[in-house]
């Protein structure tokens, strides 16, 4: 049962009206289905007339809606609540939010793990968990790379709306690795289609010889691609079953980060 602070502790809240409004809203969110005014008043221990005034106000502001069945009105919250939470979520420090997932990837795969975000036509590494062992890679928070030459960048680009992707397609950078090909819009779009199909992106000796990386996108509360998480290793260690294993772990951790961001 949900109740206001004055119902459970005996302490009078600073604003009883606000306390009751929040109690009603929290109760609607927690309910598995819509609630009638009578059920809402009984659950919150708030007078029926007060409950009615609150839910009508929530409806007018777009935070609640009602479904009419016969003579009964069932109330439930709307996704307008995301409008309040999404800006706060976007302000979270991704390096802190993603650090547990980065640490798991680095420890389990013994490869450095990174979070990248798109900045214009570049990917910026904003967080890293170093791999255990003596061999380290030249990756670090603040590193900038062309978006089309990294798995981090491809994972993000694959889920951009076309209006945001189109301006980037004129800025495809040539790679210096042995497997780099002359960048074309058609070929890159084909790569992005494969990323969406697989759920992850792969960069195999395109930017640099002997180096490969695999990455997956994560999304914010509004379903927009917010960045990507991935690992970097020697190309020989990201083939066959090793690649499948690494990709599965990366995708799983990307989903965990998405969940933390409210997706």
pLDDT of residue 235: 93
Say whether both 246 and 173 belong to one domain: yes
Q: How far apart are the first and last CA of the chain?
A: 27
135 — pLDDT class (breaks 50, 70, 90): low
Residues 6+ away with beta carbon under 8 Å from 59: 65, 66, 75
Contact 104, 118 (CB under 8 A): no
pLDDT over 90, % of the chain: 67
pLDDT above 90 (res 81): no
The answer to whether residues 74 and 106 belong to one domain is no
Average of per-residue pLDDT across 255-260 = 94
pLDDT higher than threshold 80 for residue 89 = no
Looking at the fold, whether 232 and 110 belong to one and the same domain comes out as yes
Which residue range(s) make up the domain with 123? 87-260
Instruction: Output the DSSP codes for the chain.
Output: ----HHHHT-PPPS-HHHHHHHHHHHHHHH-SS-B-HHHHHHHHT--HHHHHHHHHHHHHTTSEEEEEETTEEEEEE-TTHHHHHHHHHHHS-HHHHHHHHHHHHHHHHSS-EEEEEEETTEEEEEEEEPPSSS---S--TT-EEEGGGSHHHHHHHTTS-HHHHGGGGGGPPPP-STT-----HHHHHHHHHHHHHHSSEEEESSSSTTEEEEEEEEE-TTS-EEEEEEEEEEGGGSSHHHHHHHHHHHHHHHHHHHHHTT-
Note the pLDDT tens digit of each residue in 153-179: 999 999 999 999 999 999 999 998 899
Burial of 84 (0-12, 13-18, 19+ CB in 10 A): exposed
Both tokens of 153, joined, read: 């960048």
One domain for residues 150 and 252: yes
pLDDT of res. 242: 95
CATH number at residue 11: 1.10.10.10
Among 184, 255, 249, 181, smallest CA distance to 214 is for 249
Separation CA 114–CA 124 (nearest Å) = 10
Q: Are residues 60 and 106 in the same domain?
A: no
**pTM over 0.75, yes/no:** no
CATH code, domain with 223: 3.30.450.40
Is pLDDT above 60 for 8? no
Task: Please tell me the total count of domains within the chain.
Answer: 2
130 and 56 in one domain?
no
Asked which of 30, 46, 78 is the last residue of a domain, the reply is 78
Same domain for 242 and 154, yes or no, is: yes
Among 78, 107, 128, residue at a domain's last position: 78
């Amino acid at each position: 049962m949900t109740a206001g602070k004055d119902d459970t502790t005996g302490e009078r809240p600073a604003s009883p009206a606000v306390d009751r409004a929040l109690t009603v809203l929290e109760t609607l969110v927690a309910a598995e289905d819509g609630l009638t005014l009578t059920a809402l008043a009984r659950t919150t221990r708030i007078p029926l007339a007060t409950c009615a005034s609150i839910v009508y106000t929530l409806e007018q502001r777009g935070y609640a809606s009602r479904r009419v069945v016969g003579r009964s009105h069932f109330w439930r919250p709307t996704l307008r609540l995301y409008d309040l939470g999404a800006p706060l979520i976007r302000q979270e420090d991704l390096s802190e939010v993603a650090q547990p997932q980065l640490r798991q990837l680095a420890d389990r795969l013994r490869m450095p793990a990174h979070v990248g975000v798109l900045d214009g036509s570049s990917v910026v590494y904003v967080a890293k968990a170093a791999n255990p062992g003596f061999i380290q890679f030249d990756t670090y928070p603040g590193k900038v790379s062309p978006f089309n030459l990294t798995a981090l960048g491809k994972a993000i680009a694959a889920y951009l709306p076309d209006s945001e992707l189109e301006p980037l397609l004129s800025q495809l950078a040539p790679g210096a690795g042995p497997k780099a090909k002359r960048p074309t819009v058609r070929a890159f779009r084909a790569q992005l289609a494969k990323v969406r199909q697989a759920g992850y992106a792969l960069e195999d000796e395109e930017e640099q010889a002997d180096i490969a990386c695999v990455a997956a996108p994560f999304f914010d509360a509004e379903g927009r691609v917010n960045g990507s998480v991935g690992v970097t290793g020697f190309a020989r260690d990201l083939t066959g079953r090793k690649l499948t294993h690494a990709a599965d772990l990366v995708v799983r951790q990307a989903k965990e980060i998405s969940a933390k961001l409210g997706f």
